[in-house]
Structures are given as C-alpha cells and as structure tokens.
C-alpha cells in the first residue's frame, strides 16, 4: 500500500483552497451587486420625492365643497394617493382633480398641465377657523396646506 506523496497532497490542498476562495468571491460579488441595486433603488426613490414640488395658489369654499388650486412646480408628475382634511381621510369618490378647463386629470397633476383644481366634497360647510389639508403622494410625500374660512 502506497501513501500519497507530500507534493501531491500539498497541490490538492491548494486546489481545494482556491476552489473555496473562488466560491467565496463569486458569492461576495453577487451580494455586493444586490446591495448596490438596493442602494440605487433607495436613492432613486428619494430623488423622486425631492423632485416633487407642489404649491397652494388659492382656496375657495362653498356650502358643500373645498376647492384647492394647486401648482406642480416640480420636475416629475405628482400622483395623489390620499387626501386628509383636518386629519380625516377623504374617500376617493369624494374628491376630483381637474384642470382649469374642467377636464378630469384622474389622480395625476402632471408637469405638462401644472395647474390643477382639487375639489373636495365635504357634504357640509366648514366651520369658521383654520383648516388643514394634506395631500399624500404615491411616493409618500406629504404636502400640508392651511387655510382659513
């Protein structure tokens, strides 16, 4: 019975070590690539939030509606997800977003049609005093405006 020579055993250990190191490097680069993609996604999402800009131009009310004239001065379209009036959630069927010509814009205040009117159906006249309306966008920006009646 012959034993394995020391040179051959050393070469086998080096080959095993190199194979394990190659697997480690491949897994490490895949992990780093996934983390790089996640970081890019987070920064891209935050960039979109920073590019959203909305300004309240004018508010007019009547006995059943609050109408907000808003202007999108950002670099991206704003998609309205939720509207709160005095911290009460307004259901989607109780508000409309239209342009100055009365055309329905859906939920989007675009950069091509920057001026929009958000008409909120309140069902009753608001009490005298200061009221707060908050628009929450698809990218979770919250634009809060106060107005007096």
Dihedral sign (CA 53, 121, 103, 130): negative
CATH number for 54-148 (one of 2.30.29, 1.10.10, 1.10.3470, 2.60.40): it is 2.60.40
> Per-residue pLDDT averaged across 96-100, rounded?
92
φ, ψ at 35 (rounded to 5°): -65, -40
pLDDT band at 6 (very low <50, low <70, confident <90, very high): confident
Contact between residue 64 and residue 121 where contact means Cβ atoms under 8 Å apart: yes
Q: How high is the pLDDT of residue 4? A: 73
pTM: 0.68
Q: How high is the pLDDT of residue 71? A: 95
pLDDT band at 128 (very low <50, low <70, confident <90, very high): confident
pLDDT tens for residues 7-17? Answer: 888 888 899 99
pLDDT tens for residues 29-42? Answer: 777 766 666 677 77
């Amino acid at each position: 019975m012959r034993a394995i020579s020391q040179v051959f055993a050393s070469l086998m250990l080096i080959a095993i070590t190199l194979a394990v190191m190659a697997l480690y490097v491949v897994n490490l680069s895949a992990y780093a690539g996934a983390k790089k993609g996640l970081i890019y996604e987070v920064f891209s999402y935050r960039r979109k939030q920073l590019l959203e800009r909305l300004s309240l131009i004018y508010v007019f009310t009547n006995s059943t509606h609050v109408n907000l004239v808003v202007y999108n001065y950002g670099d991206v379209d704003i998609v309205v997800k939720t509207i709160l009036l005095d911290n009460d959630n307004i259901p989607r069927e109780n508000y409309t977003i239209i342009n100055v010509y009365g055309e329905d814009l859906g939920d989007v205040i675009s950069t091509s049609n920057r001026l929009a009117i958000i008409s909120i159906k309140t069902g009753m006249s608001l009490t005298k005093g200061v009221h707060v309306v908050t628009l929450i966008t698809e990218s979770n920006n919250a634009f809060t405006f106060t107005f007096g009646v």
